[in-house]
Amino acid sequence: MMLILLLLWILISGELGVMKFRIGPNGVHFFDRNTGLNVLLDEFCPHQTVWSKSPRQVSVALTNLCDLHCAHCFAPKHKALLHADQVLTWLKELDTEGCLGIGFGGGEPTLHPDFVDICKRAAGETHLAVTFTTHGHRLTQPLVKNLKGSIHFARISVDGIGHTYEEQRGRQFSSLLRGIESIAKLSPFGINIVINERTIFELDAVAELAQQFGASELLLLPQQATNAVASMDELVGRELQNWVSNYRGKVRLAISEVGASGLPICDPLPNETGLQAYAHIDASGILRTSSYSTTGMDIEETGVMSALKRLRNTLEIKQGTQT
Ligand code: SF4
């Protein structure tokens, strides 16, 4: 079987540029970080012993630091910052074990003093797709110039239009528009919107804005509870379902896993779930199932794959005691 895979890889890489692949319960997944092209060979079901060990995607909070104070923010508020060398060691490990992409966040990742260096090294020293999420107010021309070529996809947060945005984020909407212009020059990009009782009524306007600036994705993020705000309520959830059902815009829609239930979603990898699909590393170097999760493993000196194994064991034991 490995020979067939190798031949396929040679064929596909010759046709489409260098593609990375990972093996999982749904087949063999090829991915080109430069074009975003995914090819899934799902005609056969690889045995579990050959599945890639890394999660498909990993997000990394480079720092907890942020210069905004959004009420819906769930980032921890204590000071924490990852060291560039440490991050690179973990990324190389994940890359070798079949991870396809890394997403830098925070806090605000552009506030990390080595942000550009980390992105450049991640793109140059691994085969991972490098992405990041930003509030967009620090995307100066020199920063964009320095990042160019090291970012495969970027995400910018747009919680409503005009006054609504200014209320949600405490920054001028005009400054955000400059941020969107900058990100459009940097790489393919998507717009993130937190869905709550204010932003739900501005989805049409945000979708239009996304199309106007050439965004390729609109990511819907149903609001999660924090100390300052409640989770998206049922009424807003129903409005969201209606809006999605009637959406005819050109920009692709995506939604976070939390809050996706009841919506028509297309998941090409339905069996690749939990830590096989995704993991999060917080700014203190703790590996978690998501940034909301309270269970985590310190990566320490033993490495990210060892922490992943320990986290899986802990979650299995927890699940066992609950059943
Ligand atoms: S911009 Fe992001 S990290 Fe900063 S306070 Fe707002 S939600 Fe939190």
Specify whether 166 is located in the same domain as 230: yes
Q: What tokens were used for 322?
A: 């609950």
Specify whether 26 is located in the same domain as 89: no
Q: Classify 220 as helix, strand or coil.
A: strand
Nearest CA to ligand 1 atom 3: 107
Specify whether 13 is located in the same domain as 158: no
pLDDT digits (tens, 9 = 90+) for 291-323: 989 999 999 889 999 999 999 999 988 877 765
Specify whether 25 is located in the same domain as 93: no
- Looking at residue 17, its pLDDT comes to 55
Instruction: Evaluate: CB of 66 within 6 angstroms of ligand 1.
Output: yes
pLDDT digits (tens, 9 = 90+) for 58-82: 999 999 999 999 999 989 989 999 9
pLDDT at residue 91 greater than cutoff 90: yes
pLDDT digits (tens, 9 = 90+) for 223-279: 999 989 999 999 999 999 999 999 999 999 999 987 788 888 888 999 999 999 999
Instruction: Work out which ligand 1 atom sits closest to the CA atom of 67.
Output: 4
- Looking at residue 1, its pLDDT comes to 56
Q: Which of 60, 63, 108 to mutate to test the pocket of ligand 1 (most atoms within 8 A of CB)?
A: 108
Instruction: Work out which ligand 1 atom sits closest to the CA atom of 106.
Output: 3
10-32 burial: b if 16+ Cβ within 10 Å, else e: eebeeeeeebbbbbbbbbbbbbb
Specify whether 66 is located in the same domain as 127: yes
Specify whether 157 is located in the same domain as 258: yes
pLDDT digits (tens, 9 = 90+) for 103-153: 999 999 999 999 999 999 999 999 999 999 999 999 999 999 999 999 999
Specify whether 136 is located in the same domain as 251: yes
Number of structural domains in the chain? 2
pLDDT at residue 193 greater than cutoff 90: yes
CATH number, domain at 265? 3.20.20.70
The mean of the pLDDT values for the chain is: 93
In 3-state terms, the chain is what percent helix, strand and coil (to 5)? 40, 20, 40
How far is the centre of ligand 1, averaged over its atoms, from the C-alpha of 95 (Å)? 28
- Looking at residue 14, its pLDDT comes to 46
Residue 45 pLDDT level (bands cut at 50, 70, 90): confident
Give the domain extent around 205.
57-322
- CA separation for the pair 155, 258 (Å, rounded): 18
Specify whether 36 is located in the same domain as 70: no
Instruction: Evaluate: CB of 75 within 6 angstroms of ligand 1.
Output: yes
The H-or-E segment that residue 28 falls in is: strand 27-32
